[in-house]
Every structure is written in structure tokens, then in C-alpha cells.
Structure 1
Amino acid sequence: MNYLFACILASAVALPAAAQKAPAKPRAKTEPGPAFTLTCTGRTSGSALQKLYCETRDLTLPAPPTGTPLVVDARLNGTVTVRSWAGPTVRVRARVQGRAASEATAKALAASVRISTQNNTLRAARPHEALDGWEVSYEVLVPSQTDLTLRSINGHLAVENVRGTLRCESTAGNLSFSGVGGDVRGKTTAGSLSLTLTGAAWEGPGLDVSTANGSISWQLPAVYAATIMARTVQGRVQAELNTRRKSVLPHNLVATLGKGGAQLRAATVTGNVTVRQAPGTTETLPATEPGK
């Protein structure tokens, strides 16, 4: 009897120990990446007669195949910021806002907004296509080599560290490009242009951006290779460049940096143009052979 009791007791002690030694179930892996910066924090209504409701929605979708652009349509008042990340998918944070006379109505308005991702296109809509009282802004993380088509009416468009065939168009919003490359074209009517180039040279066919009523601010690293051209009709051009191979006139700039290369163009009608290269040694003119 004592032997039987001892066996039962030993089994009872051994079971928890065995359970502790059992291998743990693997946790689902999550793709590491930069945190989203788009939030509802600090959002307030623009009118004392209106209440604002704001919410964010996170989405993940496959990266578009090579040669197919990811299209982001921000409609009337939305903004779009696209940044590169190391993952293979497209991560999206959408900030949805509704404005109405009461908070309940504003919340219902935002809840009725549907975001579609069909055909590699991000687009928000409401029943009957009503545009008043709501807006959706996007922060998008994409692989560094991704083609993009971005559209907005009043919202700003920004692209950071993405290379590909990039097409950006807004009516009244600003355009901002930082660390981009490839075949880049952008146009806005009433917004400004901000260009920040990185690396040692432009990678890809070139850059062609324009605005009608905005200014242009262009920043370049101390050492860079490209041919840059800037012009304005009614404004003025100011340039600080580390090269003597340049022509700076009140309304036009043409300069060859380093060994030259891709043509980078920026134009405005009424705005001023400022082009600055980080301080460095001024390039000397290339030596010419005797008799030439």
C-alpha cells in the first residue's frame, strides 16, 4: 500500500515538471519596421460650430508587382506621406476624420467611410460619393524600390527614400521629395516644392517638378553628380553651389555638379527658387587638352 502511494505521489510531482519542460509554442512573427507617426493627437475642429471625430486604421497589403504603381488618392483634403522600409509588404495607416454639428454625427460620418485597396489603389469613399465633412490622410510604408502615383487636391504629398517611377500631382498642396531616385515627376498649382537630395549622384532617368504659384527650396549634399536646371518667370533664383560650371541668372540656373549625369529640373512661375549645396570644396574646371 505504501509502495502504491509513493508511486502516485511521484507521478503527481513529475507531471508539473514535465509540463514546465514542454517546448513553448512559437509566437507569430511580426515584421519589424518604423513606427507610424500619423495620429489623432492634437486634432481639433476648425469651427466652434462643428465637432471633430478622428480615428486611425492600419492596413497591410502586398507590394505591387514590378512595373505597376501603388496609387494613393487622397481626394479633396487628405495628405499622403510615403516612406521606404525594409519589409516586403505595404503598410498603411489611414487617419479618418469626420466633422459635423454633433460628436455623434461626426463619429457616424467617419464610420461610414470605406477604404478600398483593390487593384493596388488606396482610395476612400462614402455612399453617394459625398465629399463634404470628412477626409482621409495616409502614411504609407513601402519597399524602397516601388513605383508610386499620388494624387490630392488640397493636401500635401511627401515621398522619402523611395526609388522608382514616381508621379505626384496636387492642386493646392505642397510637394516634398527627400532621398528619392528614379524617374520622378511632380506638379502642383498653388503649393511649394521642397527637394532634398542624398547620396553621391542621382540614380535613374531624372527629375522634373513644377509649380505655378509656389516657391522652390532645393538642398544638395556637398559632393554630388548631376546636371541641375531651375527657372522662374516672375521670381528670382539664388544658388550656392560648389562648382564653377554654372550659369546663374535672375530667373534661370544651369549647373553641372561633379561629373554631371541625370538632368534634374525644377520650375515655378511666380515663386522664388533657392538652391543650396552643403559647404565643401569648390570644384575646379576640367582641364582642357592643348590645342583645344
Structure 2
Amino acid sequence: MNHLFTCLLAGAVALPAAAQKAPGKPRAKPEPGPAFTLTCTGRTSASALQKLYCETRDLTLPAPPAGTPLVVDARLNGAITVRGWAGTTVRVRARVEGRAASEATAKALAASVRISSQNNTLRAARPYEALEGWEVSYEVLVPRQTDLTLRSGNGHLTVENVRGALRCESTAGNLNLSGVGGDVRGKTTAGSVNLTLTGTAWEGPGLDVNTVNGSITWQLPAVYAATIMARTVQGRVQAELNTKRKSVLPHNLVATLGKGGAQLRAATVTGNVTVKQTPGTLEPLPAPEEGK
């Protein structure tokens, strides 16, 4: 009996060592790319009676197949930043925060948050689905041609250098789009819209973004081809463009830049609209055709 127990004990001790030596596939090294900027530095609690615990978690996901969007759901208070990069995978940094009366409770609250990536959807949850006391923000690196669906309540949404079918929706956060293209649609209720276009023309079907109570700021390169339209109900429209083919009214703007092209629309109800093109040569009106 003692001999049998000794053999079993020796086998139990040897098993981990044997498992470590067993041949297997080497772990793939993550693709080199831009560094994440999302950190816990400078994060503080809004109340002296409340303690904050903050941590970051990194993960790598396969890129969604063509025609399938990557969905990022930041729930109530989280922000989302998505940047295009030259890699073939999706890299994610999640910043998880817990707030409670004590540091230990705040840490336990954050630790209970689980981040799921099933079905090409990033979503955070915790037991019993408590809505208060925690939040998760995301910074995501995606291949430059990727479809996206982004949702947040009070958090800002930022997309940089991504082309595809982009759908962005926030309630109180700002919508910041830079260097995007494709079929882009976005809306926010109480946030501002900030657009920065790059290149020489819009690539894709077009742009349609709107807000209710926020302003719209729109920056274009000196040379660009598109048809742009902007409007506000109660605010004012201001435009500085390198074209004479434009109609600028107090509440509406319609302009053809370069040879025209995709229709790009931006609208607000109570905010102002400012559209600026980098100074350059003023495009003349097209010459009338002979015989007309």
C-alpha cells in the first residue's frame, strides 16, 4: 500500500514537469505596431469620499471576416478610440475602472468585470449587471480596411485612418473622425462632431453624421474632391473653401470641391457649423460649354 502511494505521488509530482517538456506549437509573437496611449495615469475619482481603482488589460483578436463589423460596446460611460494600422490582427487595450467607498471594494469591483470578445463583439459585464461604480474604455488597433460598429452612452468615439462601413453612435460623447473613408454614418445627441478629412478625395459611398445639441467642426485639405453639405436649424454656418461653386447661407452650405464626387453630409439642430479648407488656389467656376 505504501509502495502504491509512493508511485502515485511521484507520478503527480512528475506530471507538471513532463507537461512543460511536451512538444507544442510555439506561441505566436504579437505583431509590432504603434504603442497604446490608453493608460491609468492621471485618473482620479470625482469625489473625495470615493476611491478609484484602475487597471489595463491587453488582448489580441483575429480580424473579423470581410462584411462582418467589429462591434465595440462601451456601455454607459466608456470611451472608444479605434485606429487603423498595418497589421492583420485586432489589438485591444481595455481600461477598467472601479469606484467605491474603499480602495479594496473598488479593486474587487474592477476585478469582477469580464470582457468578452465573442462573435466579433467587445463587451464588458459583471455579475448581477450592476450599472454603477465601474466603466471600461477601449483603444483598438484594426486593419485599415475594417467595418466597425461603435456604441457608447456618455463616452467619446474616435476613429482614425479606417475605411469601411462605419457606424458610430453616442448619447453625450463627441464624435471625432479623422482620415476615414467608406460608408460612414454617425450620430450623437449632446456631443460635438469633429471631422478631419485627408487625401485628395473621399473613397467610398459617402459620409452622413449628425448631432442635436453639439457643434460641427469640419477640416478639409487644400485640394479635395467631393460634394459637401452642412446645415443647422438654430445655429450659424461659416465656411472658408477654395471653390466658387458654393452656396453659403446662414443655416445651410452646399459646395462642390474639385471634380465633385461622393456626397458628404453633416447636420446639427442647435449648434454652429464651421467648415474650413486649408488655404490654397481658389478653384474657378467651370467654363460654359460652347453653344450654350
Aligned to 1:254: 254
Is residue 40 from structure 1 mapped to residue 48 from structure 2 by the alignment?
no
CA offsets 1:79-99 (integer angstroms, 9 cap, x no match) = 000001111000000000000
In 2, the alpha carbon distance for the partners of 1:265 and 1:29 equals 42
Q: Aligned partners of 1:97 and 1:145: how far apart in 2?
A: 31
Question: How big is each residue's C-alpha offset from its partner over 1:27-46, in whole Å with a ceiling of 9 and x where there is no partner?
Answer: 96441100000000111110
* Paired position in structure 1 for 2:213: 213
Q: Which is greater in Rg? A: 1
Superposition pairs for residues 193-204 of structure 1, below 5 Å? 193-204=193-204
Partner residue of 1:19?
none
Give the structure 2 partner of residue 185 of structure 1.
Answer: 185
**Residue of structure 1 equivalent to 2:19:** none
Q: Distance in 1 between matches of 2:27 and 2:166?
A: 38
Amino acid across the alignment from 1:277: Q
Aligned equivalents of 1:67 and 1:289: distance in 2? 43
Matches within 5 A, 1:221-240: 221-240=221-240
Report the equivalent of 2:13.
none
- The runs of at least 4 consecutive aligned structure 1 residues that moved more than 6 Å come to none
Secondary structure, counterpart of 1:230 in structure 2: strand
Question: Deviations 1:112-135 (Å, cap 9, x if unpaired)?
Answer: 000000000000001111110000
Mapping 1:1-292, distance limit 5 Å: 29-292=29-292
Match of 1:8 in 2: none
Give RMSD over aligned pairs: 1.1
Instruction: Quote the residue 2:6 is aligned against.
Output: none
Q: Which residue of 2 aligns with 1:21?
A: none
SS at match of 2:41: coil
Q: Give the match's secondary structure for 1:242.
A: coil
Unmatched runs of 5 consecutive residues or more in structure 1 = 1-25
Partners in 2 of 1:28 and 1:167 — Cα distance?
32
CA separation in 1, counterparts of 2:183 and 2:47?
42
**1:291 Cα shift?**
2.2
CA distance in 2, matches of 1:227, 1:110: 47
Equivalent-residue separation in structure 1 for 2:28 and 2:264 (angstroms): 45
Matched residues in 2 for 1:88 and 1:63: separation?
Answer: 7
Q: Deviations over 1:235-269 (max 9, x none)?
A: 00000000000000000000000000000000000
Distance in 2, Cα, partners of 1:237 & 1:27 = 55
2-structure distance, mates of 1:226, 1:177? 17
Q: TM-score, normalised by structure 2?
A: 0.90
Q: Deviations over 1:137-178 (max 9, x none)?
A: 000000000000000000000000000000000111100000
Q: State the AA in 2 paired with 1:72.
A: V
CA distance in 1, matches of 2:29, 2:136: 30
Counterpart of 1:288, as a letter, is P
Matches of 1:91 and 1:29, distance apart in 2 = 13
